Amino acid sequence: MVELRVERAELDDGISMMYRDWGSRVRMAFDPEKIDEAAALAMLCVRVPRLVTEMSLCEVSR
């Protein structure tokens, strides 16, 4: 199981989502002015495919 932490943040121009992968924990931040949460999660799952079957959403900061 991978613990996923999701945050909303104001990111620099040209960056809509960023993430950090520590193996058993992934932390993602997205800019809601540039991308919605569903699209950010979909993009993250493309970049880190194991999340499709292993993720456990732990926290959403609003």
What are 10-58's pLDDT values in tens digits? Answer: 999 999 999 999 999 999 999 999 999 999 999 999 999 999 988 776 6
Dmax (CA) of the chain: 33
The DSSP code for 50 is: T
Structure confidence at residue 6 as a pLDDT band (50, 70, 90):
very high
pLDDT at position 44, please? 96
